[in-house]
């Protein structure tokens, strides 16, 4: 039994560092929540573990960087995946030079476009869920994701990121414009349709 060390405790999972054969891996264990009834808890843990591993595998196939998956255990809600040594975008974005920040934001947008070109909705695109390593943006945490080709779903997906940037990187909220620039460049269909949808979603919110 390899010794496991919790390196991060998120809202729904514990991230433990471990070994799988000779590889450094992390095990993402979804935690049972005693505040919700068993029926809901089992449904969410099973479904999210399954969807997450499926979407990560697909994303990788379409050229978006994600950690390599070694093992999936849907019964216990554990995904074993490659350990990334990079930094979270959340932790570095505010400290980058203007030029570098713009470049990174465009890269983020391009990656999201690649996901959306293949109808992969991430479901929780925040700067905490992107890791910068080897000059690539790695996406993690697809647990709220789904396969969906609708413009609405793509708009909501980007709207989550817009809100995350506004709340966490409020001094650099123009970052989102550069994300959209990269997004439009790589999106196969007309990116303006999705961008128009985002504006509609914002207005749908209360007091907008």
Partner 1 sequence: MLCLGIEATAHTVGIGIVEQNNGKCNVLSNVLKIYRPEQGGIHPREAANHHTIYIADLIKESINVANVSFSEIDLISFSKGPGLGPCLRTGATAARALSLTLDKPLIGVNHCVAHLEIGRGTLNDCNDPVLLYTSGANTQVIAFAEGRYRVFGETLDIGIGNCLDKFGRTVGLDFPCGPAIEKLAVNGKKYLDLPYTIKGMDIAFSGLLTAAEQYYRANKSLEDICYSIQETTFAALTEVTERAMAHTEKDEVLLGGGVAANKKLREMVQIMAKERGASFFVPSKDLCIDNGAMIAWLGVLMYNSGIRLKVENSFIDQRFRTDMVDVTWRD
> Which residues of the shown chain bind partner 1 in the complex (CB under 8 A)?
9-12, 33-37, 39-40, 43-44, 123-126, 128, 144, 156-157, 159-160, 163-164, 166-168, 170-171, 201, 204-208
Least distance in Å: CB of 32 to partner 1? Answer: 10
Active site residue 41: no
The catalytically annotated residue of 95, 124, 134, 157 is 124
Which residue in 163, 149, 139 sits closest to 52, CA to CA?
Answer: 139
* Least separation in angstroms between CB 95 and partner 1: 14
Alpha carbons within 13 angstroms on the beta-carbon side of residue 101 total 19
- Name which of 9 and 192 has its Cβ closer to partner 1: 9
DSSP string, 130-190: EEEETTEEEE---TT-EE---HHHHHHHHHHHHHHHHHHSGGGTTHHHHHHHHHHHH-SS-
The partner residues of 138 in beta bridges, in order of sequence, read 131
Count other Cβ atoms within 10 Å, centred on residue 42: 14
Helices (H) then strands (E): counts for the chain = 6, 10
Q: Kindly tell me which of 82 and 146 has the beta carbon lying closer to partner 1.
A: 146
Q: Which is nearer to partner 1, 50 or 103 (CB)?
A: 50
Residue of 179, 7, 30 lying closest to 103 (CA atoms): 179
CB of 35 to partner 1, least distance (A): 4
Strand partners, 28: 15, 79
Pick 68 or 201: Cβ nearer partner 1 = 201
Report, in Å, the least distance between residue 138 CB and partner 1. 18
Q: Which residues are designated catalytic?
A: 124
């Amino acid at each position: 039994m390899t010794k496991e060390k919790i390196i991060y405790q998120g809202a729904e999972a514990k991230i433990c560092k471990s070994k799988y054969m000779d590889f450094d891996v992390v095990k993402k264990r979804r935690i049972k929540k005693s505040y919700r009834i068993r029926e809901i808890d089992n449904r969410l843990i099973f479904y999210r573990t399954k969807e997450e591993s499926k979407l990560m595998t697909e994303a990788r196939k379409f050229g978006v960087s994600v950690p390599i998956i070694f093992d999936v255990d849907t019964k216990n809600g554990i995904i074993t995946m490659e350990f990334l040594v990079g930094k979270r975008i959340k932790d570095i974005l505010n400290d980058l030079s203007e030029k570098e920040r713009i470049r990174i934001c465009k890269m983020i947008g391009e990656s999201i476009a690649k996901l959306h070109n293949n109808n992969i909705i991430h479901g929780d695109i925040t700067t905490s869920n992107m890791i910068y390593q080897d000059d690539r943006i790695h996406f993690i945490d697809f647990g709220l994701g789904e396969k969906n080709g609708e413009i609405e779903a793509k708009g909501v997906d980007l709207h989550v990121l817009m809100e995350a940037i506004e709340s966490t990187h409020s001094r650099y909220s123009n970052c989102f414009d550069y994300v959209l620039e990269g997004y439009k460049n790589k999106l196969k269909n007309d990116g303006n349709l999705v961008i128009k949808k985002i504006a509609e979603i914002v207005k749908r919110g209360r007091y907008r």
